[in-house]
Amino acid sequence: MAYFCGRKSNLLSLLGFGLSPHLLNGPILTMLYDSNPTLEGVIKTIDEAKQGSVFFNEQTDHGHTPGVKRFYIESYGCQMNFSDSEIVASILGDIGYAPTRNMEESDLILVNTCSIREKAEETVRKRLKIFAKAKKNRPGLKVGVLGCMAERLKKQWLEEEKLVDLVVGPDAYRDLPNLIGAAEEGGRMVNVLLSREETYADISPVRLDTNGVTAFISIMRGCDNMCSFCVVPFTRGRERSREPFSIVAEARDLFEKGYREVTLLGQNVDSYKWENPETKERADFAGLLEMTAAVHPDLRVRFSTSHPKDMTDKVLHVMAAHENICKYIHLPVQSGNSRILEMMNRTYDRAWYMGRIESIWRILPDAAVSSDIITGFCSETEEEHQETISMVSWAKYCMSYMFSYSERPGTLAARKYADDVPEEVKKRRLSEIIVVQRAVSQTYNEGEIGKTFRVLVERDSSKSDQEFCGRNSQNSMCVFPKKEGIKPGDYVQVKIRAANSATLMGDILDC
């Protein structure tokens, strides 16, 4: 189970192209969120609206053209997976496949899967039953499983799920044209090879389901951290960073197309590192942030996710120095207790984590911090759980993604520790944390009443087409009445007049 509480989240003058040299010397940016019927309306399930999103692009939809093959793709899990679906769309576009929102008219159904918790995998299995029915009606239809579940279960898929034609892991998307070709000939294909190099740097993602204002850019892949509860290092492989020029070029291209915000994505952005193979010059995450911020002062830069052990003051100083780097850090604590953190193999303890938060407060006094929290990890006691609760209040998280522990096969925790906290205790602890986080979010948001923020207009608010919504630098979602001449992609000054635990309400000021 997993809940989101609080606000939704949610150059190239560098490196041989004129990057200021001091940046080159130093050490070198989900989640499937299950619904919670008991808390509906109060606690929002994280990105629930996006889970299972069917990716689509209006610009490439030319109606049903006879002879044009169509793919239908559903995506689950973290933002990284949603980004990967855009890479897949680009690769399929090159072989003449166009996206469709309508499963009934597709020649190829793809499901980009998540393994992070058991519930995520169950959701995908249910969807496969629906795809099986579609396939019965249309025998030529092919079905492919992509992403983390493909990687975890490999060819077991072909044995367990007779309808599956393609099983493709996160590092094998370039092979899709071959695999689809062979599947069209009647083969059942698997490619789950993980790579130490693949970053898809040269592939220009097809932006699907876009608001035309905000976009995600993947800057690295994989994870080397081996948190004991986590399946990601096994499904996404070793950490590798994408070369910075292609990242900045992608940001610039987005800006030129009218986008005004990019989020740099990685499992652990602070360990971004890249070395120019010819000049041996190096770039770290602070350098990459600075390069991306230099694209244009009106292009906002965000990033996710930061690991407390790697987040440096250098990054905080770069954030402080650039108005367009958003003052928001997602810094997952996972647990507030040092013994549990050690068992989780997070490589920091409670005191170290608090030290990192204090650095943020010192260097970026107006920054907002959010977190991920797991309740009921192996052997967690009531006292240890209380330490997580106290961390939520102490750190004053603007919001948290909260989960109850779900044992994943093959992880360090599954091999070493008993999953011995009863399910009802995990859930009760989760509810307790949610209550505290909700109060902290409410207090945080009430503290914003009367302040004025620069807000990037994203779209109509979900409740009314008379209102816009957009975020401030701290990532708070602001809702405000529309004003003549203002459109998505514009920056406006919004004065906050009211707040609840998820949203700030305000009015556009005359500039």
Verify binding: residue 117, ligand 5AD, rule CB under 6 A.
yes
Least gap, CB of 232 to ligand SF4 (angstroms): 4
List the single partner that 291 binds among ligand 5AD, ligand SF4, none, CB under 5 to 8 Å by kind. Answer: none
Q: What does the DSSP assignment read for 116-155?
A: SSHHHHHHHHHHHHHHHHHHHH-TT-EEEEEEHHHHHHTT
Q: Encoding tokens for residue 435? A: 């209550």
Site for ligand 5AD in 31-60 (CB under 6 A): 31
Q: Using the rule CB under 6 A, give the single segment among 88-96, 156-164, 228-236, 479-487 that binds ligand SF4.
A: 228-236
In angstroms, give the least distance from the CB of 475 to ligand SF4.
19
Q: How far apart are the first and last CA of the chain?
A: 45
Residue 502 to residue 418: CA distance in whole angstroms: 36
Q: Which is nearer to ligand 5AD, 221 or 300 (CB)?
A: 221
CA–CA gap between residue 125 and residue 102 (Å, rounded): 20
- 3-state secondary structure (DSSP) of residue 266: coil
Scanning 39-47, 85-93, 223-231, 391-399 for contacts with ligand SF4 by CB under 6 A, the matching segment is 223-231
Q: Pick from 83, 100, 123, 225: which binds ligand SF4 (CB under 6 A)?
A: 225
Among 9, 10, 30, 100, binds ligand 5AD (CB under 6 A): 30
DSSP 3-state of 473: coil
In this structure, the chain runs to a length of: 511
Residue from 6, 205, 233, 332 binding ligand 5AD (CB under 6 A) = 332
CB of 234 to ligand SF4, least distance (A): 9
On the 0-12 / 13-18 / 19+ scale of CB atoms within 10 A, 354 is middle
Q: Whole-number minimum distance, CB 320 to ligand SF4, in Å?
A: 25
**Position 24 contacts ligand SF4 (CB under 6 A):** no
Asked if residue 219 binds ligand SF4 (CB under 6 A), the reply is no
Q: Which is nearer to ligand 5AD, 179 or 331 (CB)?
A: 331
Residues 73-112 vs ligand 5AD: string with x where CB under 6 A? ----------------------------------------
Q: Does 233 bind ligand SF4 (CB under 6 A)?
A: yes
Residue 413 binds to ligand SF4 (criterion: CB under 6 A): no
In angstroms, how far is CA 73 from the centroid of its own chain? 18
Q: Does 254 participate in binding ligand 5AD (rule CB under 6 A)?
A: no
The structure tokens 């610039």 sit at 252
Residue 341: which of 310, 379, 397, 305 has the closest Cα? Answer: 379
The 10 Å CB-count burial string (b at 16+, else e) for 455-479 is bbbbebbeeeeeebbbbbbbbbbbb
Contacted entry of ligand 5AD, ligand SF4, none for residue 31, CB cut-off 5 to 8 Å set by kind? ligand 5AD
How many CB atoms neighbour CB 280 within 10 A?
A: 8
Considering only the stretches 93-101, 173-181, 403-411, 421-429, report the one whose residues sit in contact with ligand 5AD under the rule CB under 6 A.
Answer: 403-411
* 333 touching ligand 5AD, by CB under 6 A: no
**Nearest alpha-carbon partner for 474 in 497, 498, 451, 508:** 451
Residues 273-312 that bind ligand 5AD (CB under 6 A): none
AA identity, residue 334: Q
Nearer to ligand 5AD, 30 or 191 (CB): 30
Tokens 């993602």, residue located: 205
- Tell me whether residue 147 or residue 332 sits nearer to ligand 5AD (CB atom): 332
Within 13 Å, how many C-alpha atoms sit on residue 57's CB side? Answer: 18
Q: Are 498 and 450 in contact (CB under 8 A)?
A: no
Segment interacting with ligand 5AD, rule: CB under 6 A, options 94-102, 388-396, 400-408, 503-511:
400-408
Q: Which of residues 172-231 bind ligand 5AD (CB under 6 A)?
A: 229-230
- If the CB atoms of residues 123 and 268 are measured against ligand SF4, the closer one turns out to be 268
Q: Which of 29, 230, 316, 378 binds ligand SF4 (CB under 6 A)?
A: 230
Among 15, 19, 98, 116, binds ligand 5AD (CB under 6 A): 116
Q: Is 1 in the site for ligand 5AD (CB under 6 A)?
A: no
Q: Which two tokens stand for residue 417?
A: 């520790």
Task: Provide the 8-state DSSP code for 279.
Answer: T
Binding status of residue 403 toward ligand 5AD by CB under 6 A: yes
Residue type, 398: C
Q: Which residue has the tokens 């769309």?
A: 89
E strand or H helix at 99: strand 97-99
Binding status of residue 307 toward ligand SF4 by CB under 6 A: yes
Q: Rounded to whole angstroms, how far apart are CA atoms 395 and 376? A: 20
207 binds, among ligand 5AD, ligand SF4, none (CB under 5 to 8 A by kind): none
User: How far apart are alpha carbons 333 and 134 in whole angstroms?
Assistant: 43
DSSP 336: S
CB 311 within 8 A of CB 355: no
Number of residues that bind ligand SF4 (CB under 6 A): 10
Helices first, then strands: H and E counts in the chain = 15, 23
**CB-based contact 433:404 (threshold 8 Å):** no
Is 406 a binding residue for ligand 5AD by CB under 6 A? The answer is yes
Q: Which residues bind ligand 5AD (CB under 6 A)?
A: 30-31, 116-117, 229-230, 332, 334, 372, 374, 403, 405-406, 408
Q: Which residues bind ligand SF4 (CB under 6 A)?
A: 223, 225-227, 230, 232-233, 267-268, 307
